Every structure is written in structure tokens, then in C-alpha cells.
Amino acid sequence: MSDVLMSDEVATALAQGRAVVALESTIISHGMPWPRNAEVALQVERAVRDQGAVPATIAVIDGRLCAGLTPDQVEHLAKDTAVVKAASRDLGACMVKGLTAGTTVSATMRIAALAGIGVFATGGIGGVHRGDGMDVSADLTELAMTDVLVVCAGVKSILDIPRTIEVLETLRVPVAVLGADEFPAFYTPRSGVMAGERFDDARAIAATWAANRSVGLGAGMLVANPIPAAHALDAGEIGATIDAALAAAEAEGVSGKDVTPFLLGRLNAVTEGRALGANIELVLNNARLAGQIAVAAAG
């Protein structure tokens, strides 16, 4: 198995069995605009620390798989437009070509698993895209195969939420929702889809994760953490904005790994930053919950 280059802090925490939370970097390189992306990346690390866990931001730097980045490395990922977006299948090519990449949920899970990090916080996972184009994020495939718990705010309504839920069921990925019976929709706390097992605290989620492992699923676990109401966007407005962004993507022929960054960029522009503001708040909220779960799992 490939080695992961870890910061001293992350390596020490893992060796001592302390709580560590993996953080992804596509959100930095392709999900948010400069310079907010760099600020947010560091804020998210702080949110993990505030819960008593050690953050391990994951990326590929010059072809090396890294867990735990310096502020300079974070800034480089945030700023340099030559940074690529890597899903798990892209890691080998990035290593051989010496590329620098922001890692998606699938690639971050893969590297976290190699490093021995079990808990990971992101904003939203990829999923089944709308329409009949068979665009299904590799995040779902990786969740089926890699034993890492992923905290997210649900899947964005740029996706097909009911189909994404169905695929997670087929892949037998356990889904937990914090404090609600309904699966959240990223910018809004409710999607109208009743899915996932409700839990009301981090300790119960950590216990369920351990129980899932005990039955030998070999899968990950998805924890959906609804955006706090105070930071949520209006469901009607965001719905119309998403419809317009999807139409623009189709008109401009955007495809493959460019689809998600294109849609996010559109939403942020059209809402004059309100979508970005909500995105930031939910990522921080997820980092806090992941920190609590990691602490509960380590204790």
C-alpha cells in the first residue's frame, strides 16, 4: 500500500490513538472562490481542534498523498488554477505525473483509510445527478468499499436526492441523520425524503459506527448533519436558482468532473454569495460534529 506523508501532528495523534478528523480539499481547490476558500480551510481546521480532535486536511501535493498540510500548502491549493480535481481513480495518475490535486470525497476517503484515519468531514458528498445521463459520483462507490465515516450536510439539490438515497441503499451504506427523520438537502435542512436512521448525539453515532464495523460490512458510513436553520437558504429561491444553473450547464455543454464546480460557481454568483455563506456555515457545523464523533470513537 502507498505511504501517506503525514504532518508530525497527525502522525503523533494517530500513534497515540487520539481523535483525528480528515478534511477534503476539492472544496478548497474547486468548491469555493479565492480568497474565502483559504480562510475557510483554516477555520474548518480550527473548528475540529475546538472539539479536541486533530484536523488532517488531505490532498495530493507534487504527486505525494498528504494528510495534514501547512498553511502555505493550503494557500497553494486555494489559489493555483493548475491544481486538478482528483477522485480516487485519479490518484495513481497524479502520483506518477507529480501533480497537485484537491481530493474529492472519494479520494479523501481512500487516503484517510491508507493513513488510518476513520472520521472525515466535508460539505456535501457527490451523488446521482439529475436527468438520465448516468452521471453518478464515485463518492458513492467509495462509500460502499472504504471504512471511513463521512459527515456531510446531505446532498445538494443540484443532484437527484431520491436516486442518491436509493443507490446508497443498494450499496448498503449505513446512513445516519443527526436530530431529524428527513434527509437534509445541503442549503436547506429538509429534502422531503424520509431516509436515514435518526440519532440525537455524536456518541450514539460513534457507537453505531462501531456496531456497523462489527458486522463486517467493509463499507463506510454516511452521517447527514442538517444545516442550522439560522444559516439555511430559502428552499424556493435556491430551487429556482439550481434549475437555472442546470440549464446553463447543459447549454454550455459542461460534462464530467467539471459539472459540480460549474454548478457551485453559478449558485454562488447568482445568490451574490449567500450560497457560499451557507456552504461555509454547514462545513463548519460538520467539522464540529465530526470532531465530536472522533473524540467519542477514540474515548
Q: How far apart are CA 86 and CA 58, in angstroms?
A: 11
Q: Candidates 26-34, 59-67, 72-80, 266-274: pick the segment binding ligand PSU (CB under 6 A).
A: 26-34
**Binding-site partner at residue 26 among ligand PSU, Mn ion, none, CB < 5 to 8 Å by type:** ligand PSU
Of 242, 217, 199, 83, the closest CA to residue 143 belongs to 217
Instruction: Give the three cell numbers for residue 58.
Output: 488531505
Q: Which is nearer to ligand PSU, 107 or 180 (CB)?
A: 107
Is residue 90 a contact residue for Mn ion (CB under 5 A)?
no
> Is 50 marked as binding a ligand?
no
Q: Which is nearer to ligand PSU, 245 or 295 (CB)?
A: 245
Q: Candidates 1-9, 14-22, 121-129, 222-230: pick the segment binding ligand PSU (CB under 6 A).
A: 121-129
Q: How far apart are CA 299 and CA 135, in angstroms?
A: 40
For 17, phi and psi rounded to 5 degrees? 70, 25
Is residue 37 a contact residue for ligand PSU (CB under 6 A)?
no
Is residue 160 a contact residue for Mn ion (CB under 5 A)?
no
Q: Pick from 6, 20, 22, 24 the residue near ligand PSU by CB under 6 A.
A: 24
Going by their DSSP bridges, the two strands 221-224 and 149-152 should be labelled as parallel
Q: Catalytic site residue 182? A: no
From the CA atom positions of the chain, what is the Rg in Å?
17
Q: Candidates 10-18, 33-41, 133-141, 165-173: pick the segment binding ligand PSU (CB under 6 A).
A: 133-141
**Binding-site partner at residue 174 among ligand PSU, Mn ion, none, CB < 5 to 8 Å by type:** none
Q: Which is nearer to ligand PSU, 138 or 151 (CB)?
A: 138
Is residue 292 a contact residue for ligand PSU (CB under 6 A)?
no
Residue written as grid cell 447549454: 251
Q: Catalytic site residue 257? A: no
For residue 169, the minimal CB distance to ligand PSU (Å) is 19
Is residue 288 a contact residue for ligand PSU (CB under 6 A)?
no
Catalytic residue among 24, 45, 75, 182: 24
Q: Which is nearer to Mn ion, 68 or 126 (CB)?
A: 126
Residue written as grid cell 460502499: 144
Which residues in 152-211 contact ligand PSU (CB under 6 A)?
A: 156
**Binding-site partner at residue 27 among ligand PSU, Mn ion, none, CB < 5 to 8 Å by type:** ligand PSU
Binding site for ligand PSU (CB under 6 A): 24, 26-27, 30-31, 104-105, 123-126, 137-139, 156, 257, 260, 264, 279
The catalytic residue positions are 24, 156
Residue list, annotated binding site for Mn(2+): 135
Residue list, annotated binding site: 85, 105, 135, 137-139
Residue list, annotated binding site for substrate: 85, 105, 137-139
